[in-house]
């Protein structure tokens, strides 16, 4: 087994490998229950942690993120540049990689490529000798009722371009928005059928976990394995 993925809440997941632990989009305190905090603490304790935040929206970023460094044996932060604009104190943090859209970085034998979000911040493509992992942040096929035709077209074209680029290489694990508020599930089915990751992790549910069953019914056959989690702390191995 190369990795274990733990669901926390919304877009917050932990991916644990033998040599390191990756935490994605730890949200603001108002989204967290004591059980969620405990699950994160248990997974990070004593580990070599890489803490990713895709952008500064409260459901994806916690201003108290630095407290997690005290739990891990070693912590490195990977933060989108828009976070530094709103929270400049993070610009002075040691072991903090500040990333911009459409850039490539090397960090501790990981290749990190950033994609510009069509909302805010970045999406991440993380590559190592062991795994290729995509984390979508708030990049999705957003289709809100108040969009103008021009806005809708731009959102769709941006999303389509991204998934076509991702489809050019094998993706082991993909964390992608599957928003139950939208009839199109924010493009999750198109992502699955185009990118075809080995393991698909739906996210951006705001805790509406019953929606994942509805998504599976709407989706139909797929080549990917899908993590249909039912509670905080639930895990799947890859």
22 contacts 85 by C-beta, under 8 angstroms: no
Percent of the chain at pLDDT exceeding 90 = 97
Nearest to residue 70, comparing CAs of 97, 91, 51? Answer: 51
Beta strands in the chain (DSSP E): 4-9, 12-16, 21-24, 48-53, 74-80, 96-99, 104-107, 110-116, 122-127, 132-135, 173-177, 199-203, 225-226, 235-237
What does the pLDDT read at residue 130?
Answer: 85
The first and second tokens of residue 219, run together, are 């989706």
Note the pLDDT tens digit of each residue in 14-27: 999 999 999 999 99
CB neighbourhood size of 161 (10 A): 12
pLDDT, average across residues 162-178: 98
7 contacts 232 by C-beta, under 8 angstroms: yes
What does the pLDDT read at residue 163?
Answer: 98
Percent of the chain at pLDDT exceeding 70 = 100
The overall average pLDDT reported for the chain is: 96
- Is residue 1 pLDDT above 80, yes or no? no
Q: For residue 9, how many C-alpha atoms fall within 13 Å in the half-sphere facing its CB?
A: 22
The first and second tokens of residue 21, run together, are 């632990």
- Is residue 235 pLDDT above 80, yes or no? yes
Nearest to residue 26, comparing CAs of 8, 12, 41, 37? Answer: 12
Q: Distance between CA atoms of 63 and 69, rounded to whole angstroms? A: 13
Note the pLDDT tens digit of each residue in 88-146: 999 999 899 999 999 999 999 999 999 999 999 999 999 998 899 999 999 999 999 99
């Amino acid at each position: 087994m190369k990795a274990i993925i733990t669901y926390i809440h919304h877009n917050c997941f932990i991916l644990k490998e033998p040599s390191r632990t990756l935490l994605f989009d730890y949200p603001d305190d108002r989204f967290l229950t004591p059980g969620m905090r405990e699950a994160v603490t248990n997974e990070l304790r004593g580990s070599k942690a890489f803490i990713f935040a895709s952008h500064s929206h409260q459901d994806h970023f916690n201003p108290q993120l630095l407290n997690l460094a005290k739990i891990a044996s070693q912590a490195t932060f990977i933060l989108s540049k828009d976070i530094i604009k709103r929270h400049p104190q993070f610009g002075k943090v040691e072991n903090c990689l500040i990333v911009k859209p459409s850039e490539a970085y090397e960090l501790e034998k990981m290749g990190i490529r950033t994609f510009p979000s069509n909302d805010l911040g970045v999406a991440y493509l993380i590559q190592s000798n062991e795994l290729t992992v995509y984390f979508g942040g708030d990049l999705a096929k957003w289709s809100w009722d108040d969009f103008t035709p021009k806005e809708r077209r731009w959102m769709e074209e941006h999303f389509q371009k991204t998934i076509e680029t991702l489809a050019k290489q094998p993706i082991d694990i993909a964390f992608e928005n599957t928003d139950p508020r939208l009839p199109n599930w924010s493009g999750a089915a198109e992502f699955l059928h185009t990118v075809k990751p080995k393991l698909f992790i739906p996210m951006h549910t705001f805790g509406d976990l019953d929606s994942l069953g509805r998504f599976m019914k709407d989706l139909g056959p797929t080549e990917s394995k899908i993590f249909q989690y039912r509670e905080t702390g639930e895990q799947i191995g890859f």
